[in-house]
Structure 1
Amino acid sequence: MNTQPIRIGALAPLTRPGWAEAGRHLLAGLELAVREVNAAGGIAGNPLELLVRDTAANPQKAEAAVDELAGSGVVAVVGEYHSVVARTVAARADALGVPFLCSSAVLDDLIDHPTNWVARLPPPQSQGWHLYADFLVSEGHTRVAAAVDPSAYWAAGTKILHNALTPHGGTLATLDMRGHTPNSVCDELLAQGATALLLLVGHPDPAGPIVKAVRTDPRLTELLIGAPAGQPELTEWAGLLGDDGTAVPFLRYLPAHLTPSGERIERTLRNDLKEAPSFVAFEGHDTITVLATALRTQGTTRSSLAASWPHLTVEGTRGTIRFTRTPPSNVWQWTCPPIQIADRDPASPDNFRTLHTS
């Protein structure tokens, strides 16, 4: 009997300057799902084999990895956390005719033309960040400032927030961190009369120093700090900032309640990671669950996978996964991914409070 492994390329930021903790959680979810598929007999008796490559948040390194993985005979590429990297991966996978199932990157323009080669699990940035803007308005925050690093991802987020706040009479003042220090950010917030500061910057630096400067400035005790990109989700944030990192609302892609399989997976991931799994770990597990279903039901060639997205109905850890491609999206998109806004509880920083849901 043919028991050749079915190879899947997995991309994740596992070293700096990538957000390595997110990459570690993503990989934990991917690897757990592969183990489960293989324990259940694989795909028609053939085991899945994960070929892992570190992107380190570097688009050029990721592009080279896609080339190498394609030459190694992978049936698909999965993963990636950083949106700018995922955009490069999507373009290269499309050019090579290799399916790419994006696990955790949200940039709307993941690729600049319609393609069957790319599908995505997380919601597009415009959906989640528009919800975040609605949350700010509902909490009375219409004079908003954002500390911004230069990148396509942060620029896209800034535009979404501005367009969502404006109809409510809101304003968004952008503070380019190439020209500011954490202390000068505090001065500017006071001058702008801002009631909320959003961290559209890298973590741990300059996000951590900005939070510490704001929290210790007696002029800004009523200011809300927000992090729509999800920095407070992972334990590195709590370890760096302690109590200062609580009550910072962020987007996370979890439902109010995990599915029964999700609850079981949560326990295993917690044991594997030696800490609570983030939503990124569940994204990783769901990625392999979707791909395994496609391989079983639609075939094991690259072309059959690329044609499979609209035909799949998959029970994941966070709900039922189906894909559509509705303009302006150029990729196959999970139709109803869960979105919530949460923060770390000041009374118990290891616990999260759900503040708003989609």
Structure 2
Amino acid sequence: MTSTTSASSAADRADRADASAVRVGALVPLSRPGWVGAGRHLLAGLELAVGEVNAGGGILGRPLELVVRDTAADPERAAAAVDELAQSGVAALAGEFHSVVARTAAARAAALGLPYLCSSAVLDDLTEQPTDWIARLAPAQSHGWRSYADHLLKVGHRRIAVAADPGVYWAAGTRILRDHVTPHGGTVLDLDARALDPAAVCDALADHHATALLLLVGHPDPAVPLVRAVRRDPRLPDLLIGAPAGQPELPEWVTLLGADGAGIPFLRYLPDQLSPLGTRVAAALREQLGEEPSFVAFEGYDTATVLATALRSHGTDRARIAEAWPRLAVEGTRGPIRFTRMPGIDVWQWAWAPVQVADRDPAAPDRFRVLHTG
């Protein structure tokens, strides 16, 4: 089992040495500019579940193995990894956190006839046309981000600004937010986070009399400098900072920002109360990671659990695995998982993982508060 690209050659030799292993490719961002913290949690969840599968007898007596490839948030790198993994004979593909990377991987996997269970990416248009090869655990962006917009409206925000990086994912998020708040009298001001430095963003917020700024940007840059600038601007003492993409979820956020990183609502995909399975897995992940597991770690665990169920019930033939998506019923860490077709979503979708709007408590930034459940 590998956890870095540099170790991939040794892992491949080990894979070939054990011809009985059932291999699953795993796409994970483990280096910059990918969100490395999310990648580490995703991989931890995948590895924990695979270990438990093997402790329980594997896949009909055969060990389950991950063949991990670092995408570094690079779509081209991910496409090359899918090609390599498909040629090497993996039964299926798992993982990825970044939506644009997952979309490229999904398109390539579908073209190659390689079943892919996407763990964490939320972009609605994960594929350009309907396919039976792809399934997804994370809720679609339109579902989760509408819940986030509901929270903003509920607490009285109508003059909303978004500081956004260029890209399909961020543009889709802005469109979802605008479409949802405009009928309620809200406005959304677009600020180009690459063209404007943090001081210029603060000037625009003050001029617009915005009550909320949403960070639709990469982490740590430019998210961290933007938070620091807003927190220190005397014109913006009551401005709400939000991060719907989930940047404050991982411990690195507090390490970099301290108290400045608290009170920033974000989306995460956890239930209000974990099931006994979720509680047990949370404890194991906490020990493995040395920190609190994020929702991304649970997504990784659920991904490997679902794939193991499909492999046990339908075998390792790729076409049969793809046929299994609508027939699966799996107890996940965050609830029962079944896949269905949802309007506007061209892959098999778990509808839906639980959605929360949460933040870090200003009185204790290591503690989370649930502000809204969608």
Q: TM-score, normalised by structure 2?
A: 0.94
CA displacement at 1:265 relative to structure 2: 0.6
Matched, 1:108 2:108: no
- Equivalent position of 2:91 in the other structure: 75
Q: Report the count of equivalent residues.
A: 357
* Residue of 55, 58, 63 corresponding to 1:42: 58
Aligned to 2:235, the other structure's residue is in SS state helix
Give the corresponding residue for 1:189.
205
Aligned partner of 1:319 in structure 2 is 335
Offset at 1:3?
7.3
Shift of 1:259: 1.4
CA contact (8 A) 2:161 2:188 kept: yes
Per the alignment, residue 243 of structure 1 pairs with: 259
Q: Distance in 2 between matches of 1:171 and 1:303?
A: 47
1:231 to 243, 247, 253: 247
* 2:10 match: none
Q: Which residue of 2 aligns with 1:298?
A: 314
Distance 1:145 1:32 in 2: 40
Give the gaps of 5 or more residues in structure 2: 1-17
The one of 331, 348, 352 aligned to 2:364: 348
Structure 2 residue 187 is matched with structure 1 residue 137: no
- Matched-pair contact (CA < 8 Å) for 2:342–2:351: no
User: Partners in 2 of 1:244 and 1:328 — Cα distance?
Assistant: 38
Q: Which amino acid aligns with 1:324?
A: T
Q: Determine which of 270, 279, 296 is the counterpart of 2:295.
A: 279
Residue 267 of structure 1 pairs with residue 283 of structure 2: yes
Report runs of 4+ in structure 1 exceeding 4 Å deviation: none
Q: Shift of residue 296 of structure 1?
A: 1.2
Q: Which amino acid letter does the alignment assign opposite residue 203 of structure 1? A: H
Which of 313, 322, 339 is the equivalent residue of 2:355?
339
Letter in 2 for 1:265: V
- Are 1:219 and 2:235 an aligned pair? yes
TM-score (norm 1): 0.99
Determine whether 1:172 maps to 2:165: no
Conserved 8 A contact 1:12-1:27: yes
Q: Distance in 2 between matches of 1:252 and 1:213?
A: 25
Letter aligned with residue 367 of structure 2: N
- For residue 150 of structure 1, the aligned residue among 137, 149, 166 is 166
1:198 to 206, 214, 220: 214
Q: Which amino acid aligns with 2:89?
A: G
Cα deviation for residue 179 of structure 1 reads 1.9
How far apart are the structure 2 equivalents of 1:336 and 1:57?
Answer: 25
SS of the aligned residue for 1:338 comes to coil
Whether the 8 Å contact between 1:3 and 1:47 is mirrored in structure 2 is no
